[in-house]
């Protein structure tokens, strides 16, 4: 092969490669591609995060305050036909119709509420109890015995009922039905009886199905003080509500990452991604991509407008550590770290060097062949 031809081929290859460096594959856009004034950001606003504006994007509790507000308080359990009661009646002294209080009174077990909503007791007759709570039933029986028994004391206990339990299901370890007969039951009580949630509270929503209505709130809010007392017949369902961010580019662990805490900062997110790669990452090229930001840009009147935004952090400055700790991440955000300029240059020059090596080998081979031919 003619040496001159080989040299011309090498020159052409070099020209093609140096002219096409921008098309060399990469894990994502370079820092220059994102920040150049001529860059086409497809409607995204590029925001340099500083001490002056980080207050607009601080950590919030938006994720923990979503849901249905104002769950009605649970009323006392009211009796219904089919319920089974234990009634104890006592008088204040001996010699009356019922045993005195000092000896424990007279107990009537298995007193059932009939289909008319009444119970039948000696000397009190039929007493209407359906729709009443235990306290009202005790008052009504005591009123019936007034003038018959001496200072009667009445104690009523619900032994079993058709509708005196709550059902707990979904993201719990031991779903099941739990009785309210032992006393009032709150959301936390019911969840604990079901073995607790299978996921962290900030990744779970609680649904309370009550009659024809459904109430929803984050489990984290319940643990933060919004615990509610349950009603008989309530259904409690725990549903997974995963909150994640994406880690891409020059970080040690890429991919989709679940929030480890309810309201993570950018510093938390970077730590979850293993931190910046000490070899390849650019400390000036740390970005957060957000599809929906209420303070994306300001119009000529100074009003904030909503839109997609790209937040840039210069991690080479010590104060940026505090900014990253104050900046709040949201579910669906993407943390992207660009490669350092030297890494980009090495990646672009590598194929050129590889090609030059191949061309040089070809030239040397051609020279040897020509020498052999001349001989």
- Spatial separation of the C-alpha atoms in residues 9 and 366, rounded to whole Å: 13
Among the residue ranges 40-44, 49-53, 240-244, 283-287, the one predicted with the least confidence is: 40-44
Alpha-carbon distances, residue 204 vs 100, 123, 236, 349 (angstroms): 54, 54, 12, 49
d(CA 138, CA 179): 22
Average pLDDT for 32-42: 58
Banded pLDDT at 30 (limits 50, 70, 90): low
**Model-level pTM?**
0.59
Q: First and final CA of the chain: distance in angstroms?
A: 15
Residue 357 pLDDT greater than 60, yes or no: no
Half-sphere exposure of 154 (CA within 13 A, CB side): 20
Query: Are 44 and 119 contacting, i.e. CB atoms less than 8 angstroms apart?
Result: no
**Are the CB atoms for 323 and 267 separated by under 8 Å?**
no
Highest mean pLDDT among 74-78, 180-184, 292-296, 365-369: 292-296
Q: What percent of the chain has pLDDT over 70?
A: 74
Query: Does position 1 have pLDDT exceeding 70, yes or no?
Result: no
Greater pLDDT, 354 or 249: 249
58 forms bridges with which residues in the sheet?
327
Q: Is the pLDDT of residue 360 over 90?
A: no
| Residue 197 clears pLDDT 90, i.e. is over it | yes
Residues 6+ apart with CB under 8 A from 357: none
* Model pLDDT, residue 203: 93
Residue with the bigger pLDDT between 14 and 54: it is 54
Q: How far is CA 74 from the centre of its chain?
A: 27
User: Which comes out higher in pLDDT, residue 148 or 60?
Assistant: 148
Which tokens belong to 338?
A: 């660009």
Question: Which domains, and CATH codes, for the chain?
Answer: 27-59+264-344 (3.10.560.10), 84-160 (3.30.1950.10), 164-240 (3.10.560.10)
Residue with more model confidence, 362 or 146? 146
Q: Label residue 17 by pLDDT band (50, 70, 90).
A: very low
SS3 call for 337: strand
């Amino acid at each position: 092969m003619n040496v001159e031809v080989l040299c011309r081929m090498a020159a052409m290859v070099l020209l093609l490669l140096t002219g096409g460096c921008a098309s060399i594959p990469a894990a994502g856009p370079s820092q220059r591609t994102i920040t150049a004034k001529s860059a086409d950001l497809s409607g995204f606003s590029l925001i340099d995060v500083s001490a002056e504006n980080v207050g607009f994007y601080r950590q919030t509790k938006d994720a923990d305050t979503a849901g249905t507000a104002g769950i009605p308080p649970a009323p006392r359990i009211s009796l219904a036909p089919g319920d089974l009661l234990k009634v104890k009646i006592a008088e204040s002294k001996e010699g009356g119709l019922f045993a005195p209080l000092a000896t424990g009174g007279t107990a009537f077990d298995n007193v059932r509420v009939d289909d008319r909503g009444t119970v039948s007791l000696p000397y009190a007759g039929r007493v209407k109890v359906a729709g009443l709570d235990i306290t009202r039933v005790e008052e009504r029986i005591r009123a019936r015995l007034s003038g018959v028994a001496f200072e009667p004391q009445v104690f009523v206990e619900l032994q079993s009922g058709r509708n005196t339990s709550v059902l707990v299901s979904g993201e719990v370890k031991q779903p099941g039905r739990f009785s309210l007969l032992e006393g009032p039951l709150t959301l936390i009580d019911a969840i604990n009886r079901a073995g607790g949630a299978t996921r962290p509270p900030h990744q779970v929503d609680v649904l309370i199905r009550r009659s024809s209505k459904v109430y929803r709130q984050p489990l984290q809010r319940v643990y933060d003080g919004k615990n509610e007392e349950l009603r008989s017949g309530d259904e409690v369902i725990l549903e997974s509500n995963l909150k994640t961010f994406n880690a891409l580019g020059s970080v040690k662990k890429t991919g989709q990452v679940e929030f480890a805490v309810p309201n993570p900062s950018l510093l938390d997110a970077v730590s979850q991604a293993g931190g910046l790669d000490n070899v390849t990452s650019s400390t000036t090229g740390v970005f957060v991509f957000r599809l929906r930001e209420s303070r994306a840009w300001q119009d000529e009147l100074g009003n904030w407008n909503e839109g997609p935004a790209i937040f840039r952090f210069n991690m080479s400055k010590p104060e940026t550590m505090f900014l990253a700790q104050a900046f709040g991440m949201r579910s669906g955000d993407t943390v992207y770290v660009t490669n350092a300029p030297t890494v980009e240059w090495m990646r672009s020059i590598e194929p050129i060097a590889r090609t030059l090596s191949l061309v040089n080998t070809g030239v040397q081979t051609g020279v040897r062949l020509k020498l052999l031919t001349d001989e």
